[in-house]
Structure 1
Amino acid sequence: MKKYAICGVSNRALTMFIKPLLRQFSHGNKIVAVLDRDPRRFEVCREEYPELVEVPAYLPDQFDQMMKDTRPDAIIIASRDDTHLNYILQGLEKDTEVITEKPMVTSAADAVKVLQAESRSKGKVTVTFNYRYNPYHRKIKEMILQGKLGRITSVDLNWYVDTYHGASYFKRWHRLRRNSGGLSIHKSTHHFDLVNWWLDQKPLEVFAYGDLHYYGPNGEHNPEKEDHRFCGTCHVRENCEYYMRWTARSYQNSIRDDHLRADEMHLSKPGYTDYRPDACIFDSEIDIEDTYAVTVKYDRGTLLSYSINFSAPYEGYRLAINGTKGRIETTEYHEPSRIPFPFPEQTIDYYPLFGSKEIIHVVRNEGGHGGGDPLLLEDIFLGNDPRRNYPILAGAEAGAYSIAIGEAVWRSCKENKPIRIDDLLDINKEKL
């Protein structure tokens, strides 16, 4: 029986890890402890999963006691980003397996600490990069491995996050760089890791521009320049273009934004301690960017052109990969219920340098992140799928490179110069 301790009883932990461990992977796996800074989260967890009523709960400063009492074989980290490092280091110090949500940590310097600690430990780190498992992304990886593109010369990746999803990062703790590392780390590490994995190359240098356009006090949709407002109690919310986009004037049973709806629930029953999901997206304390344009140079010559916008009218991405033998194109429209116009089914279009275009319809599977979550969980809790002939589960090295690109993006924006990845990951390169 493999024993797990859950560090961070977040909504992600409840749905992504606790529920599957109890309902799908209970044979051979067991949750023996939960840890969080907020005791209210233990109550919510037990209300949702009565099976855990007898499982002991610990506060962060009781980590050592938890490990001594329950002796888990692995810890699963799904807490706030800036807390990941301490749990990872403590777990590795005790030679325990560590499974962590992305981003692994919030800075390249902390990523180096993880790599060094892992090199001294019998434990290992797994980073849950579920985008790798999306069926379209796996198919693209397979096409590259088959040599259909030849040597990859360039990648164009443009990511769009709609205001429904994008605003959630500016309502909550992510809005402060000290908590999340900024969205070039919290969110874009998903995308940088995906490209790193496709290419199987190491990033060398990053140049980027970024700014805060839609959110923050200078956002042109801000109905009034006043700090410390919350959507649930705001006196000008009927004049807020963001709030009214997802809400009818009668309010009752009309809220379409999950984060706004969560606030209504928060006001009607006891919520989490010191946590509000509806802080004003136009507050002046926001110190992260909502728009980036990035260039990354890789060690075998490939160039990545990447952009992301967190206030788009729809959600999805556009991708093109160019090689010496051909080109791949694909466009995803994500969350169709929020897209108010017709859009085509996603395909992968392959243009060989010599020959006829191929349109590939990918077989989809159910589950979150385009079907990626269930396959990721199977690899974590059942072992790697023996039918897959290429590595896909991410480790600490992958986590470190994705974070280094993300930090380089932010530093380049601030310093207006290219940033070398080696300067951020200051460690013995033979180990990377």
Structure 2
Amino acid sequence: MTAAPVAGEPARADGRTVGPVGRTDTVRAATTSIDSTSIDRTGIDTSGTDSTRPPRAVRHHEGEGTHVESRTGFAVGGTAHAEPVSVPELLARSRTLCTPPLRATVARLAAPMDTVAAYHFGWIDRDGTAVEGDGGKAVRPALALLSAQAAGAAAEVGVPGGVAVELVHNFSLLHDDLMDGDETRRHRATAWTVFGPAQAILVGDALATLGTEVLLDAGDTGGASPADAARAVRLLTTATRHLIDGQAMDVAFEQRDSVTVAECLEMEGGKTAALLAAASAIGAVLAGADDKVSGALQRYGHHLGLAFQAVDDLLGIWGATEVTGKPHWGDLRQRKKSLPVAAALAEGGAASRRLAEELADPKGRGEEPEPELAARAALIEEAGGRAWTQEEARRQHTTALAALDEVPMSDAVREHFVALAEFVVVRER
């Protein structure tokens, strides 16, 4: 299996990638093994992986663009086996299974929290009128359903897990939007700007609590054994704690002039990878899978999460607002120490030093004009931060796929996991 190309990778007319890839050696030498911190922050044993080793990647270009054809799919309807469908169908079917119980769960909230949550999920507009909004990519619910199938159960067994991780994910988004001061998400005003900060905080807290309720309900109603439901609760609550740990690190980094690549990877291992690791195993746990199977699926999700966040970091600087639905230069405005920034700072060349001087300048901590942000993005790219992050996304993608070898599952289900991993590293939003 060849590694997939990464979204946002520049290409020359002759099909070869553009960027100071040669400079990644300097950055790679500045990184350290993060195996121990990965265990501390996420509870997942990632030993045996080398965070400094370049990935084996084969890139396929067509003209100036890249092309990856998803060959896999998803199946529902009471079977543990899957028929080939496209990745969009895989995500759409996860929404079909998980959205009705998700809506029913959100409806438990008292007014006006139910309205705020429904707006945030894209089900209504600010006036309360039902709309067909953008509810997100639904990657986490899809992983939960696939993990149930990987354990030999029907996809439906993973539905409570899919709903639970989606609730926790959206708890984090509500709080993240407020902490970052983001005024738009998914091409419309964020919940805190419409309903106020207090309501956004309360609804976020409530969604996190509902995630636990959903899993306990699965044990009460026979969808899973009480013991397996309790295991799923522990998996989710531990992931939530690590998510919050990572978010706290991210906020703290904004007040620092620089962070190391290893610190950045540790932060992203909590903020993003922890919940994706839980999503990748929670359906299997509800299906009664043993620790060996659930552990391997968590490792897949952990490295997939790091690849996911690496691509997010690229989009946070170079993504198109009309595609991402997020503010242009958003991460640069907030002075986030994302992977491209940390890698560029570690490079040590002239562009790296100029970037460090800019980030240390207290005058830049207010509102900065777009030309200055564009120039900073160019410095990051010149110092190799963009190319290194693209390479890191590929490496994490490759490591995630290797974890699947430890799980006995049908070839079709395995290909679904592979397809989702490819989707993560080629997406544009």
- Structures share fold, TM-score greater than 0.5: no
Higher strand share: 1
TM-score (norm 2): 0.24
TM-score (norm 1): 0.24
Which is higher, the Rg of structure 1 or of structure 2? 1
